[in-house]
Amino acid sequence: MKILQIKNSVVSIASEIQNAYIDFSKMTVSIVAIVTDVIKDDKPVIGYGFHSNGRYAQAGLLRERFLPRLIEAKPENIVDDQRDNLDPFKIWDILMTNEKPGGHGERSVAVGVLDMAVWDAVAKIEEKPLCRLLTERFDKGKSEKEIFVYAAGGYYYPGKGTEKLVKEMRGYLEQGYKVVKMKIGAASLSEDMQRIEAVLRELEKHIDSGETPGSRLAVDANGRFDLSTALAYARELQPLGLFWYEEAGDPLDYHLQSELSSAYDKPFATGENLFSHQDVANLLRYGGLRPEKDYLQMDPALAYGLVEYLRMLDVLAQFNWSPHNCIPHGGHQFALHLAAGLGLGGNESYPGVFQPFGGFADETPIKNSMVRLTDHPGVGFEAKSDLMDLFHTHFN
């Protein structure tokens, strides 16, 4: 079994939207296609990969370090000893050859792109959806066919007032989402509270008996706040009973998170900008997070891929956290398969932005904030027509 070719390219997902920290006007994504010598349906098996929004394309790292290592590897060193298939763990070790510990900033993204493509190919070779393969290999019980998703949006952009924000959130509810998320932190506290209250008034029209509108709304500061600002927002958010308050401060400021956890007793979410299992361990040691209510958002496409994500889940188990506390960042179909196959609590969704990478298979509408997985082999990118059109444009 061999890898015949690895194709890679850079595409733009430029947009005028902004969160509290960055705008997306120059955002790019790396994409790869790993072509194997395995033939299925008279065609070679190809594994596809990309990374999530928020980090730029890693063309230099891929070209100079990671692609040469994989291309130069001997075929016998990338094959699973127990199966007639590629071995993602051996391949991961090859990719990380001669890399020092630490420094999990950008190389984790480059490795994550390739890891996704490898797992897509592995599941296709076994002719199984990735979620089923994960359940079988890692003894996680029954693979779920439906997964909870929430709609992430509510970005700032020029000329977008409260009326347009409310209209956007109403649109997500009409698409079948029950839980929505909006950005905070790029405006003043008083302005943000006006935005939040306007969305809550809209949500109140859609809640079920016994629910509160706050239980349907998450807010995300994208790491913008210092401790005093984070606490000031917490005081205003506390009475609202929000679904969660996300990433108030810098992702590595565990002291800030710990202090905030002492002052705010509603759920937090964080972790999307942690890229190693060591960082996850430090978050759980020092961040004051509570396994009975808080959520972890590590994104496998940004964090060295599924191989490293499995190590993160091992860390969670050591700290008596459940995989159900994990709702990955990224809004992509790869993380959706991990949620279904590894017993995670759900997945982010981007119904309005970051296309064609955000979103799921064409034939899987959202109903009551749940989405079904298809039975397509691999990650099922072939069932997402706009994404496959992009892959074909760059790789055919």
Cα-Cα end-to-end distance for the chain? 22
Judged by phi (left if over 0) then psi (alpha if -120 to 50, else beta), residue 332 lies in beta
Rounded to the nearest 10 degrees, how much is the dihedral formed by the CA atoms of 381, 315, 53, 190?
A: 130
What is the per-residue pLDDT for 352? 81
- With beta carbons less than 8 A apart as the criterion, state whether 272 and 299 touch: yes
Q: For residue 241, how many C-alpha atoms fall within 13 Å in the half-sphere facing its CB?
A: 7
Quote the radius of gyration of the chain (alpha carbons, Å). 21
Query: How many other CB atoms sit within 10 Å of the CB of residue 383?
Result: 19
The residue type of 149 is: V
Distance between CA atoms of 87 and 121, rounded to whole angstroms? 10
- With beta carbons less than 8 A apart as the criterion, state whether 133 and 355 touch: no
In this structure, what token pair is assigned to residue 164?
């347009």
Rounded (5°) CA angle 199-203-188: 15
Consecutive H or E run containing 32: strand 28-40
- With beta carbons less than 8 A apart as the criterion, state whether 195 and 167 touch: no
Distance between CA atoms of 267 and 367, rounded to whole angstroms? 24
What is the per-residue pLDDT for 139? 78
Helical H segments across the chain, by residue range: 59-61, 67-72, 88-95, 107-125, 130-138, 162-174, 189-204, 227-237, 254-263, 277-286, 306-318, 333-342, 385-395
3-state SS, residue 202: helix
According to DSSP, the β-strands at 146-152 and 347-349 are parallel
For the chain, helix, strand, coil in percent to 5 are: 40, 15, 40
In this structure, what token pair is assigned to residue 55?
């980090």
The residues pairing with 171 across neighbouring beta strands, listed in sequence order, are none
| Residues known to be catalytic | 183, 329
Q: For residue 318, how many C-alpha atoms fall within 13 Å in the half-sphere facing its CB?
A: 13
Give me the tens of pLDDT residue by residue for the chain, a chain 396 residues long.
899 999 999 999 999 999 998 899 999 999 999 999 999 999 999 999 999 999 999 999 999 999 999 999 999 999 999 999 999 999 999 999 999 998 888 999 999 999 999 999 999 999 999 999 999 999 777 788 999 999 999 999 999 999 999 999 999 999 999 999 999 999 999 999 999 999 999 999 999 989 999 999 999 999 999 999 999 999 999 999 999 999 999 999 999 999 999 999 999 999 999 999 999 999 999 999 999 999 999 999 999 999 999 999 999 999 999 999 999 999 999 999 999 999 999 999 999 899 999 999 998 999 999 999 999 999 999 999 999 999 999 998
According to DSSP, the β-strands at 217-220 and 244-246 are parallel
In this structure, what token pair is assigned to residue 219?
């807010």
What is the per-residue pLDDT for 105? 80
- With beta carbons less than 8 A apart as the criterion, state whether 248 and 228 touch: no
pTM exceeds cut of 0.95: yes
The answer, yes or no, to whether the previous bond of 351 is cis (omega within 30 of 0) is no
In this structure, what token pair is assigned to residue 374?
């298809």
Rounded to the nearest 10 degrees, how much is the dihedral formed by the CA atoms of 123, 59, 355, 378?
A: 0
